[in-house]
């Protein structure tokens, strides 16, 4: 145990164990050799139950690249208050996140530095490293944790969003360790296909954008006026290319000097820059819609737009610059966890692929002119990864060489066993949000129709983040309890 403490209403223990970086040739629960990484996890209990022998529930966090929740109280993440009445709750940081050997720009830089004289080898090493942070490794970490730190006791799994993907991987590979599973907004389509997902979600983003403008009609003009002040990604790429050729190459400076030179050049040219020096393009501005699948997302975006124009009373003005406060808010709202975008499309890669993923979201978007940067009214985009992110965003730029290789890769770990899922005996209770912006409800129900012992509750009362309120987990728990699915717990 690393530490033990209380926050209001919660007793918490911090723990960490070693797991193999590469699970190839190793089995969870057994000794292993080779390079290791840390798996950090917390055990959370109601203070009055600290000494009780409660059943175990492990939380499979959304993402990819999501760390476990940091709790301020039982109600700061709504489902926790109900869960700790019945369970000792385990909150792991998935490998590469939080305190579990975090992967970010520093990790990418270290790998590249180890191949300083060979950029191609460095990129290949980065790509191979990132592939070790997908579902096949994550669930093996958790199975190893169950076998070694909890005496092999069976547990209940609670999967939110990407955690539902991890649930089906767990039920494919290690069902014997699970008593029952809950998922919320997170049943993947099996067989998996990234392009299929985006063919469903881009039209939904048009509807979400329309609903946003209907709720806040004044923001249609405001969004258009902001977008008219911004360059497109193509314009930024063209400008930076010319700047590099004419000014920066002769300098032969360091990467930092090169970036500072580019920032100075863009600022002199009048491109709006975010506080960290990244250019604010129309396409990045459109990414504010990534929040539209949560509540109260429309309000959060509305208030970001409210501060956009500096002069006078903030009314839309052609000559008014964009305010520093607006630029800071956009940067915060469109920046992501380091592994979230790099792994985004590879969560759909199951075993040997027939063809590479090749920037699935961008390929789908290219066929939908309504998302063009010059289209008005401007449509926002959702949870989708695009190549320009790895050129414009300073936190993602070090991942670009690896991304180029991964997008052409066809060899990934197996994450779903369709035959095993068909004969699944572990009770699976899923909350399917009918209007889910991120995980299509029709595709979820299609998968569930082919998973043994699965049950679902379809509702449009909640958005994708419904679990974070007080009602969803209790509903799932009560349904499973009343059906007898949790009898083994008592």
Answer yes or no: is 41 within a domain: yes
Collapse the DSSP code of 193 into the 3-class scheme (helix H, G, I; strand E, B; otherwise coil) and give the result: coil
Answer yes or no: is 254 within a domain: no
Domain boundary residue among 406, 435, 461?
406
Same domain, 210 and 310: yes
CATH number at residue 426: 3.40.50.1820
Same domain, 394 and 451: no
Residues forming a β-bridge with 428: 181, 454
Residue written as token pair 């604010």? 280
**367 in Cβ contact with 88 (< 8 Å):** no
Taking alpha carbons only, the member of 175, 189, 167, 127 closest to residue 406 is 127
Taking alpha carbons only, the member of 304, 344, 292 closest to residue 463 is 292
The DSSP element (H or E) to which 456 belongs, if any, is strand 454-459
Contacts of 186 (CB under 8 A, 6+ apart): 62, 159, 160, 161, 162, 163, 164, 165, 167, 430, 439
Domain boundary residue among 387, 406, 425?
406
The predicted model scores a pTM of: 0.96
Residue written as token pair 């992501």? 336
Same domain, 30 and 62: yes
Answer yes or no: is 311 within a domain: yes
| Number of Cα atoms under 13 Å in the Cβ half of residue 211 | 14
Which pLDDT score is estimated for 135? Answer: 98
Answer yes or no: is 245 within a domain: no
Taking the CB of residue 248, how many other CB atoms lie within 10 A of it?
18
Which residue spans within 143-209 are E strands per DSSP? Answer: 155-160, 178-184
Same domain, 67 and 131: yes
**Euclidean distance between CA atoms 172 and 190, whole angstroms:** 12
Q: Whole domain around residue 54: which residue ranges?
A: 3-190+416-489
Which pLDDT score is estimated for 249? Answer: 45
**68 in Cβ contact with 39 (< 8 Å):** no
Same domain, 68 and 171: yes
Answer yes or no: is 14 within a domain: yes
Same domain, 186 and 211: no
Q: How far, CA to CA in Å, does 253 sit from each of 113, 256, 261, 409, 451? A: 17, 8, 9, 33, 57
Which pLDDT score is estimated for 21? Answer: 98
- Burial label for 354, CB within 10 Å (0-12, 13-18, 19+), is exposed
The DSSP element (H or E) to which 12 belongs, if any, is strand 10-20
Both tokens of residue 92? Answer: 């792991």
Q: For every one of its 490 residues, what pLDDT tens digit does the chain have, with 9 covering 90 and above?
A: 999 999 999 999 999 999 999 999 999 999 999 999 999 999 999 999 999 999 999 999 999 999 999 999 999 999 999 999 999 999 999 999 999 999 999 999 999 999 988 999 999 999 999 999 999 999 999 999 999 999 999 999 999 999 999 999 999 999 999 999 999 999 999 999 999 999 999 999 999 999 999 999 999 999 999 999 999 999 999 988 887 665 444 433 456 777 777 888 888 888 899 999 999 999 999 999 999 999 999 999 999 999 999 999 999 988 899 999 999 999 999 997 889 999 999 999 999 999 999 999 999 999 999 999 999 999 999 999 999 999 999 999 999 999 999 999 999 999 999 999 999 999 999 999 999 999 999 999 999 999 999 999 999 999 999 999 999 999 999 999 999 999 998 8
Same domain, 178 and 200: no
Answer yes or no: is 12 within a domain: yes
User: Which DSSP state fits 210?
Assistant: H
Same domain, 320 and 376: yes
Same domain, 179 and 202: no
Domain boundary residue among 362, 384, 406?
406
Q: How far, CA to CA in Å, does 396 sit from each of 6, 239, 349, 390? A: 36, 20, 21, 5
Answer yes or no: is 84 within a domain: yes
H-state helical runs in 309-466: 324-334, 340-343, 360-366, 389-392, 400-406, 418-422, 441-448
Structural domains counted in the chain: 2
Taking alpha carbons only, the member of 280, 242, 249 closest to residue 388 is 280
Answer yes or no: is 121 within a domain: yes
Asked if the bond preceding 64 is cis, omega within 30° of 0, the reply is yes
Same domain, 289 and 435: no
Same domain, 77 and 134: yes
**Euclidean distance between CA atoms 44 and 61, whole angstroms:** 15
Same domain, 153 and 204: no
**Euclidean distance between CA atoms 211 and 215, whole angstroms:** 6
């Amino acid at each position: 145990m690393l530490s033990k403490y209380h926050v209001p209403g919660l007793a918490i223990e911090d723990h960490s164990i070693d797991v193999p970086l590469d699970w190839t040739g190793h089995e969870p629960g057994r000794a292993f050799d080779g390079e290791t990484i840390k798996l950090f996890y917390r055990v959370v209990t109601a203070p009055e139950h600290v000494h009780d022998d409660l059943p175990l529930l492990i939380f499979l966090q959304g993402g990819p690249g999501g760390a476990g929740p940091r709790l301020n109280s039982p109600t700061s993440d709504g489902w926790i208050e109900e869960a700790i009445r019945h369970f000792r709750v385990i909150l792991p940081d998935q490998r590469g996140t939080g305190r579990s050997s975090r992967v970010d720009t520093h990790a990418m830089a270290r790998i590249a530095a180890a191949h300083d004289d060979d950029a191609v080898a460095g990129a290949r090493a980065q790509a191979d490293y990132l592939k070790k942070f997908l579902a096949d490794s994550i669930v093996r970490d958790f199975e190893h944790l169950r076998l070694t730190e909890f005496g092999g006791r069976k547990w209940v799994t609670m999967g939110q969003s990407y955690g539902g993907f991890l649930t089906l991987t767990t039920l494919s590979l290690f069902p014997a360790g699970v008593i029952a599973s809950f998922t919320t907004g997170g049943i993947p389509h099996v067989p998996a296909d990234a392009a299929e997902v985006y063919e469903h979600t881009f039209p939904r983003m048009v509807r979400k954008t329309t609903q946003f403008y209907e709720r806040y009609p004044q923001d249609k003009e405001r969004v258009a006026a902001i977008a008219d002040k911004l360059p497109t990604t193509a314009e930024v790429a063209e400008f930076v290319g010319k700047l590099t050729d004419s000014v920066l190459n002769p300098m032969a400076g360091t990467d930092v000097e090169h970036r500072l030179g580019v920032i100075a050049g863009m600022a002199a040219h009048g491109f709006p820059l975010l506080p960290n020096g990244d250019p604010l393009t129309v396409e990045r501005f459109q990414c504010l819609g990534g929040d539209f699948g949560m509540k109260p997302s429309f309000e959060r975006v509305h208030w970001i737009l409210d501060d956009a124009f500096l002069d006078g009373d903030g009314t839309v003005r052609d000559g008014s610059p964009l305010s520093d406060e607006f630029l800071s808010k956009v940067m915060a709202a469109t920046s992501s966890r380091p592994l979230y975008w790099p792994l985004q499309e590879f969560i759909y890669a199951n075993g040997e692929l027939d063809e590479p993923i090749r920037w699935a979201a961008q390929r789908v978007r290219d066929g939908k002119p309504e998302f063009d940067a010059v289209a008005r009214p401007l449509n926002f985009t959702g949870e989708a990864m695009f190549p320009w992110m790895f050129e414009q965003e300073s936190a993602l730029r070090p991942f670009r060489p690896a991304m180029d290789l991964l997008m052409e890769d066809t060899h990934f770990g197996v994450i779903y066993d369709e035959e095993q899922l068909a004969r699944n005996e572990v009770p699976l209770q899923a909350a399917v949000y009918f209007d889910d912006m991120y995980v299509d409800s029709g595709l979820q129900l299609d998968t569930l129709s082919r998973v043994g012992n699965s049950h679902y509750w379809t509702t449009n009362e909640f958005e994708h983040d419904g679990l974070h309120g007080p009602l969803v987990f209790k509903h799932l728990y009560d349904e499973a309890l009343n059906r007898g699915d949790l009898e083994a717990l008592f």
